[in-house]
Structure 1
Amino acid sequence: MSQITTVFAAAISGLEAEQVWNTERAYAHLNQCGQADSKRTAERRLNGCGLLPTELSDVLLRDEKDRRLNTLVLAWALEQARKRRDRVLFAQLSPLPTGKPCLHANDARGARFWVPLATLDLPALRNAFAALQQNIGKPLAIFPHGALVGLLHDAGDMPEIRFCPQAYLPVMSAGIELPRFGTPAVRPLGELSAHLKRLEAESIHILREAVAEARNPAMLYSSGKDSGVLLHLARKAFYPSQPPFPLLHVDTGWDFQEMYLFRDLMMRESGMEMLVHSNAQAIEKQINPFDHGGGLFTDITATQALCQALEKHKFDMVLGGARRDEQKSRAKERIFSSRSATHHWAPKSQRPELWGLYNTRQQQNASMRVFPLSNWTELDIWHYIYLERIPVVPLYFSKPRAVVVRPEMIRVVNDGRCRLLPGEQIQIRNVRFRSLGCYPLSGAIDSEATSIEDVLMELVNTHQPERQGRLDDTDSAGSMEKRKREGYF
């Protein structure tokens, strides 16, 4: 380290933590030490000692996992900040030459600020931002970068200081605590009611019956609440062994980001095999719900992709989490639903299921769909999730999310591919989802339910159907039944 750097670094390290520096103050200090006779010289000294990190802009912003931000929400947040006349600062962490942690910030015009930190934690950062705001004397709109993003996830807005967490991609906690079967604490929150015990026993019986009769079974997994309950029941049905089948995710490429993260985390924790299949032709032709409509999009990326996966892996029996109360065409479905060799569904050809007896015989090259949750309701699912402590994706709970409000739905601006209508404005609203699918086709609801208990109370008092916001159910009359006849699950 040069003499100039040593002098400057020693001066910096001697200052109190959370004291705001800028180039003006650095010049005054270097001039007093005889190390700079002009501001330009002071800037060269700062750059020479490696004090200042690379200047940030909205294009360079990344999160703690080096992922780009949601460009639509970021552009909206910057526009809102400028309308409010907030001082927009891009912030990052970079140590001082002495090794002390330091908060750095710059605006779009190149003004630089830095605040030495006593400790690298949220309280110290909040104090540093407060000192920065008082020094500048204007409301601030802070856009963090890199490792700083991870430290500010739970920061919340401060007086005269705004953050926009909706512009950043979601993260999941490092691990999920899965229920441990065969221990006294399986149901720490209370015993299952007689009704839920009967549903659980019926579903476990169906799972075991299906596996006993199948040559090559698989279970669909989408990261939704029904998939989570079905996976939980399967793990319980075959405990202490793993369920004797893989999980299959038919990936349209348009699921919510949280669903992908939750899927990967669940697979790591459960130790089960996960097969992921997408329609390669849909990817090649860039089939999407905005340009091609929900009906065609769902047919190509979901129905055709599922049939391709069944053909590829030769699955003869596929388990799924559909329930009869979800949608009227699903109410026609048998628990063991036979499909033709081309995976088509014929409602009039379904077999009777009397006294809990199931006909699992299949014609050559035919397959069967099995629905162990057929007799469950949405309220049953959530009550069971609560009592069994089954992990669910955070999209089911309310939080401030970036949305656009349309007459037919509230759409979350999930990523930069979302299309906004002319003149349409993004809003931040407390919303959650009751039913999850591809994000352009799944509508959110206004809600304050932030826990399973809140969700249960909300469901008891609602009269709206579960799939009220699913555009793929309403794109045309009888669309769900038409897709089911063509092979949709």
Structure 2
Amino acid sequence: MKVLYCGHAPRWERTTRGESRKERSRNYGARAVALDAKTLTHLERLESEAIHIMREVVAEATNPVMLYSVGKDSAVMLHLARKAFYPSPPPFPLLHVDTTWKFQDMYALRNKMAVESGMELLIYQNPEAAEKGINPFDHGALHTDMWKTEGLKQALDKYGFDAAFGGARRDEEKSRAKERIFSFRTASHGWDPKNQRPELWNLYNARKNKGESIRVFPISNWTELDIWQYIHLNDVPIVPLYFADERPTYEWEGQLFMADDIPRLEKVLGYRPEITMKSVRFRTLGCFPLTGAVESTAKTLPEVIQETLLTTTSERQGRVIDKDAGGAGMEVKKQQGYF
């Protein structure tokens, strides 16, 4: 049937003389992509991608959960989740795998954000690690294995979660750089870096075998600078430890750490470490005896962003757990079930 237009044809139907339907379709697609590139900023494109991933997982998964470690990446991920499903709260709970050795400021923000977001907060501690008194000073890598890796696996099994959002990013560490956004895990939560699915054109295959689960990383394509700029532009609440301040510090195994709980340190170490006050902040957060501080004067977000632009070292340089297992610590841990 031939359609006649009165006046000008609609914009999407206007073509040059002799242009075929196939060419017209291709050219329209190119114009649409160009228009999208002009109207969305870099951060808006990253935000849009992350929201698309979250909605895709909710549509495909049976029982999703968001891992909430209370760091800056978790803060951005929670903000994106609330935005993705607004005005309703996100249709999944928050899961905090507690090692009992987090910074006190992290626990305070965790509880505050759980209330503010209206989401259910699940807190899980590995009972075996608690019973054996596993700690980062006496047990080394076993602390991370028991409290974090085994604790996470136990929590996922206990609640039957088949998809877990995580805040890992490709630019953080070499093993994370080669992991897909949809990272499939075996029934025992293991990861095989040689057995990953292609992710072309923002298409994600969420089909899995019985017993398998998926770790999903919505902000995988973000950089540390992207994270800080997004936090600044959107007023995302974060732990104050990311800003420089005078804090009690001590040196242990060649790194500078914050004495967050001095009585507990004395009890575990058997002595009181030499403590000095220094202006420090953290680029990444974890268990306080395993997270090195950096000397800094950056007290505001613009100053943190400026410092990030000038830095020549990895943000995870202070994470002791990355140096386990002969320098391949993170990849080995991920193969064993670490997030």
* Higher normalized helix content (fraction of residues): 2
Q: Identify the residue that residue 39 of structure 1 maps to in structure 2.
A: none
Unaligned ranges ≥5, structure 2: 1-38
2:178 matches 1:329:
no
Q: Identify the residue that residue 367 of structure 1 maps to in structure 2.
A: 213
Task: Check 1:483–1:428 CA distance in 2 against 1; reply closer, same or farther (3 A cut).
Answer: same
Displacement, 1:409?
A: 1.5
2:42 matches 1:195:
yes
- How far apart, CA to CA, are the structure 1 residues paired with 2:334 and 2:286? 16
Residues 374-407 of structure 1: per-residue CA shift (max 9 Å, x gap): 0000000000000001010101011110001346
Q: Identify the residue that residue 137 of structure 1 maps to in structure 2.
A: none
Q: Which amino acid aligns with 2:98?
A: D
Percent identity over the alignment is 58
Q: Which has the higher contact order (CA 8 A, sep 6+)?
A: 2
Q: Identify the residue that residue 118 of structure 2 maps to in structure 1.
A: 271
1:438 maps to which of 282, 287, 293: 287
Residues 29-50 of structure 1: per-residue CA shift (max 9 Å, x gap): xxxxxxxxxxxxxxxxxxxxxx
Task: Check 1:193–1:403 CA distance in 2 against 1; reply closer, same or farther (3 A cut).
Answer: farther
Write out aligned runs for 1:22-421 (5 A).
194-293=41-140, 295-406=141-252, 408-415=254-261, 416-418=263-265
Residues 405-453 of structure 1: per-residue CA shift (max 9 Å, x gap): 3463211111122256979521000000000001110000000011111
Aligned partners of 1:408 and 1:469 also within 8 Å? no
Displacement, 1:265?
A: 1.1
Q: Identify the residue that residue 183 of structure 1 maps to in structure 2.
A: none
Aligned partners of 2:250 and 2:273 also within 8 Å? yes
Q: Which amino acid aligns with 1:351?
A: R
- How far apart, CA to CA, are the structure 2 residues paired with 1:296 and 1:273? 30
Q: Over aligned residue pairs, what C-alpha RMSD do you find?
A: 1.5
Displacement, 1:475?
A: 2.6
Q: Identify the residue that residue 479 of structure 1 maps to in structure 2.
A: 329
Aligned partners of 2:265 and 2:272 also within 8 Å? no
Q: TM-score, normalised by structure 1?
A: 0.59
- How far apart, CA to CA, are the structure 2 residues paired with 1:272 and 1:220? 12
- How far apart, CA to CA, are the structure 2 residues paired with 1:423 and 1:380? 40
Runs of 4+ more than 3 Å apart: 419-424
Unaligned ranges ≥5, structure 1: 1-191
Task: Check 1:425–1:339 CA distance in 2 against 1; reply closer, same or farther (3 A cut).
Answer: same
Q: TM-score, normalised by structure 2?
A: 0.85
Residues 72-102 of structure 1: per-residue CA shift (max 9 Å, x gap): xxxxxxxxxxxxxxxxxxxxxxxxxxxxxxx
How many equivalent residue pairs?
297
Q: Identify the residue that residue 172 of structure 1 maps to in structure 2.
A: none
Q: Which amino acid aligns with 2:60?
A: E
